[in-house]
Amino acid sequence: MAFYDDKLFLQGESAQRIYDEIKDLPVVDYHCHLDQTKIKADATFSDIGEMWLAGDHYKWRAMRICGVDEKYITGDATFKEKFFKYASIMPKLAGNALYYWTHLELKQIFGIDLPLNSDTAQEIYERANEKIKNISVRSLLKLYGVKYIATTDDPVDTLDSHGVYDGIEVRPTFRPDKALSLDNEYLKKLEEVSGQKIKTTGDVLRALENRLQFFVKNGCKISDHGFKDFPDVIVDESTADEYFARRESLSEVEKTRLLGYFLVNLAKIYRKYSIIMQLHFSVTRNVNPAMKVRCGVDSGFDVIASAQKIENVIAFFSAVSDDQRPETILYTLNDCDLPSLCCITGAYAHVKSGAAWWFNDTVEGIRNNLKKVSEYSVLGTNYGMLTDSRSFASYARFDFFRRILSGYLGELVDKGEYDESAAIQTAKDVSYYNIKNTLNI
C-alpha cells in the first residue's frame, strides 16, 4: 500500500476539485537562496545525500535536535553516512514539515512510496541513486514546472550566471543587507563596483541606486531586506548622517534607526524602478556564537524574535507616501503579528502580507497564515508560495502549499460558506496568477 496517497490534506470532494485545477500550474519562485551557478551549469548530484543534505539547514537543525553528531551534519562524514543519519531521525518527526517534504520528494522525484527510517534507508538509498544518475538541477526544475526563479543576490555581485536556461527565467533579487550593516570593508567594495565615494548616507543610497540599475538591466524585479525590528522613530537626514559618521560605535537602537532611514529612502528608489520590496523581520540570527564559528552563518542557528511594536510599523509606512511606495510584501517570523500586519495592508496602498515564512512554513503555520490573511486582509490578492530554500529538491513545497490551500478553501465550500467557482479562481490566483501578473512574466 502506498505510504502517502493522493488525498494528502484534501479532505472532502471540494478540496480535491480545487486541487485538480491548480496542481499543474507553473511555479514562480519569487524568493529563494538557490545557487544560480548550478542552474547555469545544470549541475548533477553524487547521491541523494548530497541532494538533500549539502546545504539544507532545516534538515541540519532537526538532526541536531535529535542528537546527531555535527560530523554527520556539516562535518566531514560522507553524504551516504549523512543520509543514513537523517533517515534514522525521520520516525521522530511527527507533524514536522520535514516529514511531509521528505516523503513528497521521495514519491515525486524518485517514485518511492516507502516511509523513510533506518530499516528502509538502504533500499531507498539504492533506488534513489539509480534514478539520480539521470537527474540534474534543470531536470528537477522541469519536473516541478518551474518557470521563474528569483535568487538572492548582493549589490556587488556580478550576476554572471543569471539568464534563461531551458525556458526557465533565473533573475536576481537585490538584497543590500551587507551594505546596510555598516561594515567598512564591505562599503569599500561597494565604492569600487559603483564608482561612488561613500562619506554620507546620501553616498550609500547613490551607490546602491547605481547597482540597482545594473540589477534591473539583468532582469531584476524584486528587492529583499532581512532584519530584526522596525525602528522606534524615523530619523531625518542630518541625524542619519551623524549616526553614519560614528557607525562603529552606535547602540543597537541607533543602528535600527539608521536602518529605518535607509529603508524609507530605498523604498522610494524601488518605486522609481518598479521593484517589489520584500521585508523579512522578527528574526534573531546566529544566536550560538561557538557554532557560528564552527559552521558559519545560515547553518540553522537562527530563532524567532519578539513580535513587532505595531506603532513602529505604522511609523515606517507613514514615512513613505502611497504614491512613493513600491509594492511591498511583509514576512514576519513571529506570527503573533499576523492580525495587526494584515490590518496594515488595508491602511496603506501597495502593501501585502507574505507567505508563512521559515519556521512557520508548516501545515498549521500555513493554515494559520491563510486564515489570518483571509480574515484581516484579502486572500485573493495574496502572492502565495515560495521556497526560501537552498535545496533544489524543495519544489515539493509548492505541492505541499497547494494541497493545504485547496483543503482550506474546500472546507469553506463544504460548509456552505464560499462559492466553489470563486474558491477555484482564488486558488489559481494565489498559486500562480497574482505573482505572474505582478512580475509581468
Helices (H), 6-160: 13-22, 36-41, 48-53, 57-65, 79-89, 97-110, 121-132, 137-143
3 has pLDDT over 90: no
- Per cent of the chain over pLDDT 90 is 98
Q: Is the dihedral of CA 313, 316, 319, 322 positive or negative?
A: negative
Range 13-46+136-439 has CATH code 3.20.20.140: yes
pLDDT in tens, 233-253: 999 999 999 999 999 999 999
- The secondary structure of the chain in percent helix, strand, coil, rounded to multiples of 5, reads 55, 10, 35
Q: Give the amino acid at 426.
A: T
Give exposure, 364-395, as e/b (b: 16+ Cβ within 10 Å).
ebbbebbebbbebbebeebbbbbbbbbbbbbb
CATH architecture of 47-135: Orthogonal Bundle (1.10)
Alpha-carbon gap, residue 250 to 223, rounded angstroms: 26
3-state secondary structure 173-193: EECCHHHHCCCHHHHHHHHHH
How many residues are given for the chain? Answer: 441
Residue 150 near residue 30 (C-beta atoms within 8 A): yes
Residue of 380, 319, 323 lying closest to 349 (CA atoms) = 323
Residue 307 near residue 337 (C-beta atoms within 8 A): yes
| Mean pLDDT to the nearest integer, 161-174 | 98
pLDDT in tens, 26-83: 999 999 999 999 999 999 999 999 999 999 999 999 999 999 999 999 999 999 999 9
Beta pairing class for 283-284 and 146-150: unpaired
| Mean pLDDT to the nearest integer, 180-190 | 95
| Mean pLDDT to the nearest integer, 92-105 | 97
Spell out the domain ranges in the chain. 13-46+136-439, 47-135
User: pTM here?
Assistant: 0.97
User: What are the DSSP calls for 287-343, one per residue?
Assistant: --HHHHHHH-SSSS--EE-PPP-HHHHHHHHHTS-TTTPPPEEEEESSGGGHHHHHH
Q: How confident is the model at residue 4 (pLDDT cuts 50, 70, 90)?
A: low
Q: How confident is the model at residue 2 (pLDDT cuts 50, 70, 90)?
A: low
Q: What is the pLDDT of residue 1?
A: 38
| Mean pLDDT to the nearest integer, 363-390 | 97
Q: How confident is the model at residue 228 (pLDDT cuts 50, 70, 90)?
A: very high
Q: What is the pLDDT of residue 6?
A: 87
| Mean pLDDT to the nearest integer, 290-307 | 95
Alpha-carbon gap, residue 195 to 231, rounded angstroms: 30
| Mean pLDDT to the nearest integer, 196-224 | 98
- Mean pLDDT of all residues belonging to the chain: 97
**Beta bridge pairs of residue 163:** 170
**Beta bridge pairs of residue 171:** 150
